[in-house]
A and B are shown apart, each in its own frame.
Chain A
Amino acid sequence: NAGVTQTPKFRVLKTGQSMTLLCAQDMNHEYMYWYRQDPGMGLRLIHYSVGEGTTAKGEVPDGYNVSRLKKQNFLLGLESAAPSQTSVYFCASTYRIMNTEAFFGQGTRLTVV
C-alpha cells in the first residue's frame, strides 16, 4: 500500500535550472497539494488541485507551476530555480477538500546553489 509517493527524494540544482517534482497517489483521492517546509515557517501551501485538469494557487505560488493531467499524479515545476526555493517539499492528498485528514509523501529535499 504505497499511499503518496514523491520523486526524487533529493536534488541539487544550479540557479536558473528547471526541474519537475512528481507526486503519485494510489488512493483515488480527488484533491492534491504541494507544500514547502522551511525552518520556523511550518508547511506553506504552494498550489493545490481539486481534480484532474484543475489547479489553484496557495499561499506561496510564485516561481512554481503545477499540472494535474491524471487524477493520480500532481507535478510541481520550477522553471528557473532560485536559492530561495531551497526547501523540503511535501505532496499530500485528501479524499475531500474539507474536514478530512491529509496523507503526505515522504518529502523531497531540494537545494538550489
Chain B
Amino acid sequence: DQQVKQNSPSLSVQEGRISILNCDYTNSMFDYFLWYKKYPAEGPTFLISISSIKDKNEDGRFTVFLNKSAKHLSLHIVPSQPGDSAVYFCAASRADMRFGAGTRLTVKP
C-alpha cells in the first residue's frame, strides 16, 4: 500500500529549461511534505519542504507547490542545471515519513 506515489520513473530536460517533478499521496493525514535529492552511492539529502497550511514554498531555483484537494505536490526547478541530475524522492510525514519511488532527472547540457 504505497501512500506516496511518483508515477514518472524518469524525466529528461534541457539545461536552462524548467523541470517539473510530480508526486501524489493518498493519506489526507499527512501534514508535511518534503523533497529529497539522491546521487548514486550516497544517501538522500533534504532539498525543500512545505507544510500543509501552505500551497507554495520557494528556495532559490526550487519551488514546491501543494494542492491539498487533489493530494498532489510538485517540484519545479528553474533553470535546470546539469548538476541537478539525480533521483528525486517525494516524502510525506505525519507520525513517520513515507517516500515515493523516486524520479530520475537528467538535465542535458
Contact = CB atoms under 8 A, between A and B. Distances in A.
B102 A42 contact: yes
Nearest to B47: A101
A43 B44 contact: yes
B6 interface: yes
- Interface centre among B31, B97, B102, by most chain A C-beta atoms within 10 angstroms, is B97
Contacts, number: 64
Interface string B42-59: 111110010100000000
B49 A33 contact: no
Interface stretch (B14-22, B68-76, B78-86, B87-95): B87-95
Given A42-B99, A42-B100, A90-B43, 13 more contacts: A33-B96, A35-B99, A42-B4, A44-B99, A45-B96, A92-B43, A97-B95, A98-B31, A98-B32, A102-B91, A104-B44, A106-B41, A107-B41
Interface of A: 4, 33, 35, 40-45, 48, 58-59, 90, 92, 94, 97-107
